[in-house]
Amino acid sequence: MPNKNRLEELLERLHQTEGELQQEVDRLLEQKRRQFHYQLRRGKVVFEKNVRRWQRQHKTGLWKYLRQAPLLYILTAPLIYGMVLPLFLLDISLTIYQQICFRVYRIPRVRRADYLVIDRHHLAYLNIIEKINCVYCGYGNGLIEYGREITARTEQYWCPIKHAERTLDPHHRTLFFADYGDAEGYKMLRDQLRKQWDHAQQKSDGEIT
């Protein structure tokens, strides 16, 4: 029991610290928006007048960019871009899966737009190849974050048990899972966790129901 209370205390402090960190990040982000003269209006990036002209002065021309690229970078490009198809199939599969299964299990659905943010192609100091690369990286990394949250909520519902050995970067929901080997507490905790979606519900505000 003391260990459990200690864990709950640490989690409460962690949650508070995360809130303070988010406020500080938001404050710094707003500061950077003023520094680099842009705003977000209905999710769209809007730069102040003449900012794009200034950005274009720092753009590397397409042919210069290609001439400076190492040959191995060019030769491996098809392997990188070839991942678009499996990522796209994963995207479709994840969305279909949660739209069907999460409705059945009454799990709050993950809002895709919270994880996939594609906005770096608006920067005028990037050439066309750099813009494509930024769109690709934003999509790929955002998709993995989106998929991780979907699988994390699935695990919380079906198998909320900690591993015997801690993985390098477990998702945040594992903190509340049953201890490995706790046969008595597993079913009770599983039933509780199937009703506790506070954090998930916060992320699902505004989603299509």
Q: What string of DSSP letters covers 122-146?
A: G-TTS-HHHHHHHHHHHHHHHHHHH
Domain count, the chain: 1
What does the pLDDT look like over 5-39, one tens digit per residue? 777 787 778 778 878 888 888 888 888 888 888 88
Average pLDDT, the chain: 87
For range 140-151, the mean pLDDT = 97
Rounded to 5°, the CA angle 155-158-160 comes to 60
- The reply to whether 41 falls in a domain is no
pTM for this model (two decimals): 0.80
Helix or strand run (H / E) with residue 45: strand 44-47
How far are the Cα atoms of 40, 46, 177, 195 from residue 15, in angstroms, in the given order?
27, 33, 17, 20
CB-based contacts of 165: which residues, under 8 Å, 6+ apart?
none
2 domain-assigned: no
Range of the structural domain that residue 181 is part of: 71-203
Give the CA angle between residues 94, 95, 100 to the nearest 5°: 100
Residue 25 belongs to a domain: no
H/E element holding 30?
A: helix 2-35
| Residue 50, in any domain of the structure | no
